[in-house]
Structure 1
Amino acid sequence: MQTFEKQLNRFKTELGFIAALDQSGGSTPTALKTYGVNEDAYSNDEEMFNLVHAMRSRTITSPSFGGDRVIGAILFENTLDREIEGKASSLYLWEEKNIVPFLKVDKGLEAQADGVQLMKDIPGLDALLKKAKAKNVFGTKMRSVIKLADPVGIQKLVEQQFNVAKQICAAGLVPIIEPEIDIHSPEKAAAEALLKTELLKQLDLLSNNELVMLKISLPESANFYQECVAHPNVVKVVALSGGYPIEEANNRLTENNGVIASFSRVLTNNLFSGQADIDFNAALSATIEPIYTASKT
């Protein structure tokens, strides 16, 4: 069985969740500060990325971070280009940890219009996908944001996501389509209804060999996205924590059968640079276990 088929089979048959370790340039200072590394610890981007890579490497190499509970991990390009213990980061994840690697490919968000923030253009995407494929990356992730229940904006957003998704499928990878709904939106439930309609419309237009994943905000109604979970073109529906506290995120996740976590901020909230390894590993395991349990429902 080829690597891609092994990775696909892992998602279809095994339990676990996705660790989103893909904060990039704009969000890295916040991720470092949460970890206990303030901005006076670095003087340029290279030093900053060295520090965040050290943080991510410590997380990934921890005995608490294993394929028994973590089924996938999302990286950003800077991490993909670096090594962990002498091996390319994506290869380390797959070969040493049995964790399926993904790559964040979007370049950030446009200004809000029609109640949404579309993705910016992604120049050089084909070359990036080729590089990722050569490093045993299974899939990609790209994020848009919905602020209001605007049917015009939501239709545009979903169409944009699927247009890029088809390009990614053609390169032999599985795109994670992430139309995040802001959890603070005053129209969250109405936006979810519009989003589900558009997602199902676009899913039905895919060919048999175009496989995708969906990353959604945890919905207001339990099992709201079951038609997406059951769709033959959907490998997996995953959920972002979106700013919910970890307990609420896990509770909401438990209510959505067949949906697994793809959490980022809440995963590393109790990890700090000054922790002894034994405390770091214990804190990471204590966070991972309830996320894993909630992802099993």
Structure 2
Amino acid sequence: MNQQQFEKIKNGKGFIAALDQSGGSTPKALALYGVEKDQYANEEEMFDLVHEMRTRIITSPAFNADHILGAILFEQTMDREIEGMYTGDYLAEKKGIVPFLKVDKGLADEQEGVQMMKPMPDLDETLKRANERNIFGTKMRSVIKSANPEGITAVVNQQFEIGRQILAAGLVPIIEPEVDINSPEKEKCEEYLKNELITHLNSLNDDENVMLKLTIPSEANLYKELIDHPRVIRVVALSGGYSTDAANEKLKENDGLIASFSRALSQDLNVNQSDEEFNAELEKAVKSIYEASV
């Protein structure tokens, strides 16, 4: 593990940019960026366009290590290049930003009020490639929709089971059991989730350190105990569908919680903007998310 990157993620000021929309969410991300479905004929063209969008974001002067600690990449982004370098190398070497990789294969159908992660049969191979591409850590997402204790336990069990596999490969897992912001039982879900997470964190060995990515809680500072846990490197928050302004306001209420926003980072960017307009909008988003995180 790169100790310099570890220190940056643990103690640095800033946030984690989530640039990891994958197969299912890519058309939505492109549409938000002003690229409609009739502008690409197949999946290959779609992924070319989304890589162009991500390249434009990453190479922008607004996307810099003064405000951004790390960036989460989609698998195809990791395997592609920016200015002749693999994306992870470009981020680490040119930008001083720590690269992470989304490793989950999407969500299974809802059962017991939750959506578990689909199987990841080639995870070991992916982790091997991530090490070759100088990736620091990984991210994987499940979703909690109702306060079903069995469902929440199953989600956290699965996250930590795979998390240990990732730790064994020398990478840092970001454990992400998202609570749906529209759940009528959101607060109850968060209470159950917190207790489950503490139980699992307490079972980790002294050399097993993880990150957590959680929905901003309804009760301010509910996750302070997780933020202060000795096995937790950092707790980051997802925007979960909130607008940038709403997500930032909620984030500010939680001490020590930093952003890992996707939609809230890129919602005002458009393919038709000039570079000057694009960079100005990105800088505005980056600075507002940074302020909320610090």
| Interval of TM-score (by shorter of Structure 1 and Structure 2) | over 0.9
For 1:43-122, what aligned pairs fall within 5 Å after superposition? 43-122=41-120
Task: Specify which of 248, 251, 273 is matched with residue 250 of structure 1.
Answer: 248
In 1, the alpha carbon distance for the partners of 2:265 and 2:215 equals 16
Tell me if structure 2 keeps the 8 A contact 1:218–1:240: yes
Identity of aligned residues (%): 57
SS at match of 2:220: coil
Task: State the Cα distance separating 1:13 from its structure 2 match.
Answer: 2.3
Question: How much does 1:264 deviate?
Answer: 0.2
Question: Deviation of residue 133 (structure 1)?
Answer: 1.0
Q: 1:7 aligns with which of 5, 24, 39?
A: 5
Question: Aligned residue for 1:164?
Answer: 162
Distance 2:81 2:154 in 1: 38
Q: How do 1:135-174 residues align onto structure 2 when only pairs under 5 Å count? A: 135-174=133-172
Residue pairs, 1:218-257, within 5 angstroms = 218-257=216-255
> Who is 2:197 aligned against?
199
- 2-structure distance, mates of 1:245, 1:266: 6
**CA shift at 1:225, angstroms?**
0.3
3-state DSSP of counterpart to 2:101: strand
The gaps in structure 2 that reach 5 residues or longer are none
Letter in 2 for 1:243: G
Counterpart-to-counterpart distance in 2, 1:14 and 1:193: 28
Compute the displacement of 1:12 (Å).
2.0
Q: Give the counterpart letter for 1:238 in structure 2.
A: V
Please list the CA deviations of residues 127-182 of structure 1 after superposition, one character each: whole Å capped at 9, or x if unmatched.
11011011110100000000000001000110010000000000000000000000
Instruction: Determine the structure 1 residue equivalent to 2:175.
Output: 177
Q: Secondary structure at the match of 1:239?
A: strand
* C-alpha deviation, 1:43, in angstroms: 0.4
Deviations 1:185-215 (Å, cap 9, x if unpaired)?
Answer: 0000000000000000000000111110000
Matched residue count? 294
Tell me how far apart the structure 2 counterparts of residues 130 and 16 of structure 1 sit (CA, whole Å). 28
Q: CA contact under 8 A between 1:4 and 1:136: conserved in structure 2?
A: no
One-letter amino acid of the structure 2 residue matched with residue 18 of structure 1:
I
1:293 aligns to what?
291
Q: How many Å apart are 1:123 and its aligned residue? A: 1.2
RMSD of Structure 2 on Structure 1 (CA): 0.7
TM-score (norm 2): 0.99
Q: Write the deviation string for residues 14-63 of structure 1: whole angstroms up to 9, x where unpaired.
A: 10101100001111111111111111111011111000000000000000
* Corresponding letter in the other structure for 1:111: D
- Displacement after TM superposition at 1:248 (Å): 1.3
2:215 aligned partner: 217
Aligned partners of 2:122 and 2:212: how far apart in 1? Answer: 23
SS in 2 for 1:107: coil
